[in-house]
Amino acid sequence: MYKTKIISALMAASLMAGVSPAAAGSGPIKIVLAEEADLLEPCMATRSNIGRIIMENVSETLTELDVRGKKGVMPRLAEKWEQTADGSWRFHLRQGVKFSNGTTFDAKDVKHSFERIFSDKNACESRRYFGGMKIDTTVVDANTIDFKVDPVQPILPLLMSLVTIVPEETPMEFIREPIGTGPYALSNWTPGQQIVLTGRSDYWGDKPQVTQATYLFRSDPAVRAAMVQTGEADLSPSISQLDATNTKTDFSYLDSETVYLRIDHNIAPLNDVRVRKALNLAIDRQAFVGSLVPDGAVLATALVPPTTLGWNPDVKVFPFDPEGAKKLLEQAKADGVAVETPITVIARTANFPNVTEIMEAIQAQLQDVGFKIDLKFVEVAEHEGYYSKPFKEGRGPILVAASHDNSKGDPSFTMFFKYATKGTQAGFSDPKVDDLIQRATAAVGDERAKLWSQLIAYLHDDVVADVLLFHMVGFSRVSERLDFKPTIATNSMLQLSDISIK
Amino acid sequence: MLSFIRKRSLSSLLSLIGLLVMVFFLSRLTGDPAALFLPVEASAEMKQQFRELHGLNDPLLVQFGRYVGNVLTGDLGESLRKARPALDVVLEAFVWTLWLAAITMSLVASAAIVVGSLAAFRTGGFFDRLSSMVSLIGASVPDFWLAIVAIVVFSIQLAWLPTSGTGSVLHWILPIGVLFVRPFGIIVQVVRGSMISALSSAYVKTARAKGVKAGPIIFVHALRNAMLPVITVLGDQAASLLNGAVIVETIFGFPGVGKLMIDSILQRDFNVVLAAILVTAVAIFLMNVLIDLAYAVLDPRIRH
């Protein structure tokens, strides 16, 4: 509504392009973000508004996922790791690393960081990645630590990329001034105004070109774009599509959000696979791209983006086939399925750009093939009530429009929650799905990728689990003095060391 | 006068208590903060533990009793989201809002009184028509639109002022300019109306007959009598600014109490909502007392 600019052509930036070789420049930069970090707590760094500032800048992890290349899990504070015969993991830690308070990093800090995220004195978000696991940590020596996890965790090194390491002295309660081993330390935080990170001279790794980063916060996307344009800021990772008009500074990037309609298979007529297929055939996904959904968005065949392990290129998007959908509905009706029962689509206000228009168009397309669709918009908390278990008793057939974010590189962060019988947002229960998730979660290497691929195909083609729609794109504005291309992880993490100054 | 202030304080205190009780229970009706603080994938155990950590599992009346006990000892609780005292969070933001409101309303009052009085002196004249048109536009223009246009013109095109934020005097110009427009439009109209009626009164005619010049007639004889309704409307407008100029704060990234209040409601940060309401309610009460005092100063009939 605020926008005064008109839509113009969008540029096709390379999505996963690497940063150009380092140039000679160095100096301070300013970054303008949409949402202020209310807390700079390291164990909350998996929340995007916090992680974008401190993750790997102030607080580092034992491992990190390569989101720019295909190196997979890479060493960070751990130099190497191995799995022992009993399934435990041994991590060998980097030596000569100091926290910004001057203390030396060692295995006791890692142990404490784990104890802290499981403490009942805080509500650390990173704990959610270890649900159902029992973790015993044993300090072998100052630079070696063992993790015995029950059940055995083949992806523990990947999970380590989500746990930030704090010094042993950190209290269990939430803190507001993070101490980390990263290349930057917090030097100023004026709530509501700015957060400043300043480069550390005693950092163990390569010295980044950005010497200081000032984070500013503006909710309005047009203002964020204007700030980079006028030089008040150098980078805004998120601007609106309407403002992304300058091909020299504005880039679109696949932002790891996948939009879909979650089908509740428990209630007729959605318990019939023909009806679920008809839902998928009735929607003209391609027509949305470039109109209501930005150019560059990718039609989804899985709830995880294409950069994820095991993403299956052989699974094809359902074609737009209204006649086919009508036929399927007729067949189901002939077999006594109550296809005329009104189905409610629940969508969340302001969940993603153009959500109202997209949902209204989908409603119209579904109605065109014979579905009776009610569309209901709700706010975030009510949406959560429909999306997550326990589902309400006596509910009618429901499709929940939702947006799911997985930039972590492995489907395990998605599949259990969305598809396993015990998953909080699973709309069905299928023993084969449970088995595949269990086996894939426990597998390693090619076997793991193969099992995830198999699951993705089974969910899409046989179960017809949901109506998958789009992998969305975001838009960023980067000053011409910087050399930086956003990645699929930019939503949740913005490493200052990835930014070069021309 | 003292007994008047005492009576006003007592009735305001009762209203304030009623308001806090209402907000306490109504805010709890909006749902569970754990659902918003933790991600959708968080397990039921994590949510349960979050509620226990913040005492949200206790019966509502127990929570209320604890809240009242804490408030009586001056403790308004901790912000769920920011892990620091709610009152500190609110006062930090309120200082910005107070400055914004005070500067804006001082400018509005001075400008609107001069323009409204001059317009009333020659009703139907060029200046009157011009000021009526300008003030009507000012009273009707949407502030989000004005704010964006101001940024495009003054920051992007002319590059005279920063787009948003804080840090220098220049940063205050656009937010104050945008906030100025609407109350100015409204108050010019009120001053004009009130002055027209004062200027047609018998004592002004007498003054004119005695040969008093236009300036003293407007600003000494008529204005003082015309000020009572103007002060009432000024108070109204100032109160709405003290509640926070949400849109202007949002667009200009101004760390005021309005945006804080809206964000806290959306995030179910109950303690911050209650503290913000308490602080703004006290401020509005103090302002109303000042307005009453101003009435008494301007009009001896009220004083006596």
Residue B189 is inside which H or E element, if any? helix B169-199
Instruction: Collect the ranges in chain A with pLDDT lower than 70.
Output: 1-24, 69-70
ipTM of the complex, rounded to two decimals: 0.84
- Measured CA to CA, the distance from residue A159 to residue A123 in angstroms comes to 18
Q: Is the pLDDT of residue B218 over 50?
A: yes
Tell me the three state secondary structure of residue B51.
helix
Length, in residues, of chain A? 502
Indicate whether B64 and B180 sit together in one domain: no
**Domains identified in chain B, total number:** 2
Indicate whether A425 and A287 sit together in one domain: yes
Classify residue B78: in a domain, yes or no.
Answer: no
Q: Is B32 on the interface with A (CB under 8 A)?
A: yes
Which of A174, A216, A417 has the CB atom closest to B165's CB atom?
A: A216
CB A235 within 8 A of CB A216: no
Which of B46, B156, B253 has the CB atom closest to A217's CB atom?
A: B253
Tell me the three state secondary structure of residue B169.
helix
Note the pLDDT of residue A22: 41
Indicate whether B233 and B128 sit together in one domain: yes
Which of A3, A127, A384 has the CB atom closest to B40's CB atom?
A: A384
Between chains, do A47 and B83 touch, taking CB under 8 Å as contact?
Answer: no
Q: State the residue for tokens 């008009």.
A: A245
Indicate whether B111 and B228 sit together in one domain: yes
- The domain spanning residue B203 has which CATH number? 1.10.3720.10
CB B208 within 8 A of CB B216: no
- The domain spanning residue A322 has which CATH number? 3.10.105.10
Among candidate residues A176, A196, A216, the one where a domain is terminated: A176
CB A337 within 8 A of CB A293: no
CB A194 within 8 A of CB A216: yes
What is the average pLDDT across B290-298?
82
CB A15 within 8 A of CB A254: yes
**Min Cα separation A216/chain B (Å):** 8
Among candidate residues A176, A208, A227, the one where a domain is terminated: A176
Indicate whether B264 and B196 sit together in one domain: yes
- Measured CA to CA, the distance from residue A77 to residue A62 in angstroms comes to 4
Interface of A with B in 179-208 (CB under 8 A): 191-193
Q: Are strands A373-378 and A343-348 parallel, antiparallel or unpaired?
A: parallel
- Most B CBs within 10 A among A193, A346, A425, hence the mutation to make, goes to A193
Note the pLDDT of residue A24: 55
Note the pLDDT of residue B179: 93
Chain A residues inside the 8 Å CB shell of B53: 120-123
Indicate whether A272 and A161 sit together in one domain: no
Taken in order A250, A252, A256, A259, the sign of the CA dihedral is positive
**Min Cα separation B104/chain A (Å):** 21
Q: Is A219 on the interface with B (CB under 8 A)?
A: yes
CB A46 within 8 A of CB A129: yes
Which of B41, B89, B152 has the CB atom closest to A424's CB atom?
A: B41
Instruction: List Cβ neighbours of A237 (8 Å cut-off, separation of 6 or more).
Output: A31, A33, A52, A474, A476, A486, A490, A491, A494
Note the pLDDT of residue A181: 97
Note the pLDDT of residue B3: 76
Note the pLDDT of residue A423: 85
Indicate whether B45 and B93 sit together in one domain: no
What's at A441, amino acid-wise? Answer: T
Tell me the two tokens of residue A179. Answer: 């101490």
Instruction: List Cβ neighbours of A457 (8 Å cut-off, separation of 6 or more).
Output: A312, A314, A315
Indicate whether B168 and B58 sit together in one domain: no
Instruction: List Cβ neighbours of A148 (8 Å cut-off, separation of 6 or more).
Output: A86, A87, A88, A135, A136, A137, A138
Strand partners, A135: A149
Classify residue A235: in a domain, yes or no.
Answer: no
Indicate whether B90 and B68 sit together in one domain: no
DSSP string, A430-496: -HHHHHHHHHHHH--HHHHHHHHHHHHHIIIIII--EEEEEEEEEEEEE-TTEE----TTTTT---G
Note the pLDDT of residue A42: 94
What is the tens place of the pLDDT at every residue in B71-112? 888 888 888 888 889 999 999 999 999 999 999 999 999 999
Note the pLDDT of residue A214: 97
- The domain spanning residue A131 has which CATH number? 3.90.76.10
Which residue, A388, A428, A152, is CA-closest to B46?
A388
DSSP string, A52-94: HHHBTTTB-BSEEE-SSSS--EEESSEEEEEE-TTS-EEEEEP
- Measured CA to CA, the distance from residue A328 to residue A324 in angstroms comes to 6
What is the average pLDDT across B108-137?
90
Tell me the two tokens of residue B235. Answer: 């108070």
A:B CB pairs within 8 Å: 119
Tell me the two tokens of residue A2. Answer: 């605020």
Indicate whether B112 and B50 sit together in one domain: no
Q: Is the pLDDT of residue B173 over 90?
A: yes
Between chains, do B38 and A123 touch, taking CB under 8 Å as contact?
Answer: yes
Indicate whether B63 and B165 sit together in one domain: no
**Domains identified in chain A, total number:** 2
Tell me the three state secondary structure of residue A287.
helix
For the question of whether the overall pTM of this predicted structure is more than 0.90, the answer is no
What is the tens place of the pLDDT at every residue in A426-452? 999 999 999 999 888 878 778 889 999
Q: Is A35 on the interface with B (CB under 8 A)?
A: no
Domain that holds residue A102: 57-176
Which residue, A370, A368, A347, is CA-closest to A358?
A347
Give the phi and the psi of residue B64 in degrees, each rounded to 5: -65, -45
Note the pLDDT of residue A467: 97
Tell me the two tokens of residue B202. Answer: 């018998």
Classify residue B80: in a domain, yes or no.
Answer: no
- Measured CA to CA, the distance from residue B203 to residue B39 in angstroms comes to 71
Tell me the two tokens of residue A55. Answer: 């993750």
Q: Is the pLDDT of residue B55 over 60?
A: yes
Classify residue B156: in a domain, yes or no.
Answer: yes
Which of B32, B41, B49 has the CB atom closest to A123's CB atom?
A: B49
- Measured CA to CA, the distance from residue A299 to residue A470 in angstroms comes to 5
SS3 content of chain A, % helix, strand, coil (to 5): 25, 25, 50
Q: Is B206 on the interface with A (CB under 8 A)?
A: no
What's at B37, amino acid-wise? Answer: F
Q: What is the number of other CB atoms lying within 10 angstroms of the CB of residue A54? A: 26
Classify residue B81: in a domain, yes or no.
Answer: no
- Measured CA to CA, the distance from residue B223 to residue B220 in angstroms comes to 6
Classify residue A200: in a domain, yes or no.
Answer: no
Note the pLDDT of residue A2: 40
Domain that holds residue B63: 2-72
- Measured CA to CA, the distance from residue A279 to residue A286 in angstroms comes to 15
